[in-house]
Amino acid sequence: MKTDPTKTMELEERDRLLQVQRRRQRLESLGSLASGIAHDLNNLLTPILMSCRMLQRENTNIDRDALLETIGSSASRGAELIAQLLTFARGGDGEHLPIRVDQIAPEVIAILRHTLPPGIELVLEVEPDLPVVLGDATEIGQVLMNLAINARDAMPATGQLGIQVTRTTLKTERPYTYATMQPGEYVTITVSDTGIGIPRDVRERMFDPFFTTKDRGQGTGLGLSTSIGIVRSHHGAVEVQSTVGQGTRISVILPAWNDNNQAES
């Protein structure tokens, strides 16, 4: 069967635009984290500057080795933070490969914890010996970051933000948001908060493009719509549980993968 070159070009252009949209949304996520990241970078730079000034003084009582250790340690931590941000911003090429979600979650948390108010407790729980999934690590991290930012914003001052990565076994077919999952093994990422909760009318629209309950300038409303697009491209599903005044749990269910099932890419 001959391939229609026009259709092929249209598909390639659609994929390119989709990657551009997802990268734009990743950068928007970083924008919402910017103040917290800047604060943390300032905290890392301050001891470097203070140590340099002390080293410039002609004081024989100064412990120069300790000051140099402070400079080196702070610089290394700053470089690590910047490297994490660059990796998240650049993203991948959209290729789906076997990945371990239990390794992605700590990387996202390393960025996220710099932006949380002192009154919000961050709790990570990862079940051991999880199966791999077939996907793009940057895109899965983007989904987790989007959900975590929303959870953070639902708790302006105090509360608990939980992230769980667990194994789910479905014995029978089960319907979720935008998808029905077949019996089998899955990896589930759950982001929970003890915030204000989501009213039913908002839950019905929360994944629509450009829908947002935030004030003007606080986001485009693309975060959750981008996330659901990524989840669907990974043949996954989403479940939302929320009680107004008590909090929200959003779970992302991704099919487990192994060499025998050769899941679709």
CATH code for the domain of 235: 3.30.565.10
How would residue 217 be classed by pLDDT, with cut points 50, 70 and 90? very low
Q: Which of 88, 103, 125 is the last residue of a domain?
A: 88
Q: Which of 72, 88, 104 is the last residue of a domain?
A: 88
- On whether both 102 and 84 belong to a single domain, the answer is no
Structural domains counted in the chain: 2
**In the prediction, which pLDDT does 5 show?**
66
- On whether both 55 and 106 belong to a single domain, the answer is no
Burial class (CB in 10 A: 0-12, 13-18, 19+), 23: middle
- On whether both 163 and 49 belong to a single domain, the answer is no
- Of 239 and 116, the one with more pLDDT: 239
Q: Which residues contact 81 (CB under 8 A, 6 or more apart)?
A: 37, 40, 41, 44, 110, 111, 114
- On whether both 84 and 121 belong to a single domain, the answer is no
Its domain, for residue 197, covers 95-257
- On whether both 79 and 159 belong to a single domain, the answer is no
- On whether both 116 and 232 belong to a single domain, the answer is yes
pLDDT mean over 219-237: 78
The encoded tokens of residue 93 equal: 């090429």
Q: From CA 26, how far away is CA 222, in angstroms rounded?
A: 10
- On whether both 100 and 213 belong to a single domain, the answer is yes
How would residue 204 be classed by pLDDT, with cut points 50, 70 and 90? confident
pLDDT tens digit sequence for 236-254 = 999 999 999 999 999 999 9
Q: Residue 263: inside a domain, yes or no? A: no
pLDDT mean over 126-142: 91
- CA-to-CA separations, 152 to 55, 117, 173, 204, in angstroms, rounded: 41, 9, 33, 21
How would residue 103 be classed by pLDDT, with cut points 50, 70 and 90? very high
pTM over 0.75: no
Q: Residue 123: inside a domain, yes or no? A: yes
- On whether both 10 and 51 belong to a single domain, the answer is yes
Q: Which of 88, 115, 131 is the last residue of a domain?
A: 88
Q: Residue 70: inside a domain, yes or no? A: yes
Q: From CA 89, how far away is CA 51, in angstroms rounded?
A: 32
Eight-state DSSP code of residue 177: B
